[in-house]
Amino acid sequence: MSDMEFKKPIVQNGTRILRPKEFNVILNACPTMDRKIMLQALLYTGMRYIEMVRFQVHPFWFDGDFIHLPEEANQKVMRTQKERWVRLNNQGKMTVKFLSSVQRAYPTYQAYGMALRNWARKSGLDPIGLNTKTLRKTWESWLIFIYPTRIMDITLSQGHTQVISLQHYMNMPFTEIERLEIKEFVQGWIGDDGHQILYRVSEG
């Protein structure tokens, strides 16, 4: 698949925000099932990379519905919450359960960013802006796009302030077709739609 088949990349403050089709391209390029699950866990939780690394060592932070991140999960000096509960939809819960069976550990922060760019290149996707923050920023952008009236819930789950979310994740140039595609990923996150979406392992 060539670059000509993709829309102009969305890059916000140096970090790529993925469109649904772009995420699927990278997912399909992951060489093993373990790597696919690890990629999806980063997306569906919206957690910081260091939080995910530490969560993989402490899977009991997941209670079956939420992931409770205690203070030691993230040592970021400027964080707005010392601890928080990460909200998941059904796809997120299933992904986190699969993650507990993955024996491979997440690589270093830098190595994962390189892996994302390599998977993109192999699929003909422009790697510009792809880094380890991409999945977290993509998820928050998708949530705000679908649930614009639930900013408080989103920021509490993500560990951001409402000001940061409004400044960085509003007004993304997603199309109406992409709205439907994004909804398939985030549906049920608030639990107000009565649907269960089948777990997505790989999709073209």
Q: What is the pLDDT of residue 191?
A: 67
**pLDDT(43) > 60:** yes
Quote the pTM value: 0.87
User: Are 16 and 134 a contacting pair, CB within 8 Å?
Assistant: yes
Read off the pLDDT band of 168 (50, 70, 90): low
Which of the four pLDDT bands, split at 50, 70 and 90, describes residue 82?
confident
- The model's pLDDT over 13-33, given as tens digits with 9 standing for 90+, comes to 999 999 999 999 999 999 999
Tokens 């964080």, residue located? 79
The mean-pLDDT minimum among 110-124, 143-157, 158-172 falls in 158-172
Instruction: Report, as an integer, the average pLDDT of 112-130.
Output: 97
Output the pLDDT for position 170: 77
CATH superfamily of 11-186: Intergrase catalytic core (1.10.443.10)
Residue-wise pLDDT for 124-152, tens only, equals 999 999 999 999 999 999 999 999 999 99
b/e for 135-147, b at 16 or more Cβ within 10 A? Answer: bbbbbbbbbbbbb
What pLDDT was estimated at residue 92? 98
Pull the structure tokens for residue 56: 């993989």
Residue 85: phi and psi, rounded to 5, are: -105, 125
Domains in the chain: boundaries: 11-186
Backbone phi, then psi, for 95, in 5-degree steps? -65, -45
List CB contacts of 198: < 8 A, sequence separation 6 or more: none
Q: What is the largest CA-CA distance in the chain?
A: 45
- For residue 40 the two structure tokens come to 């999806």
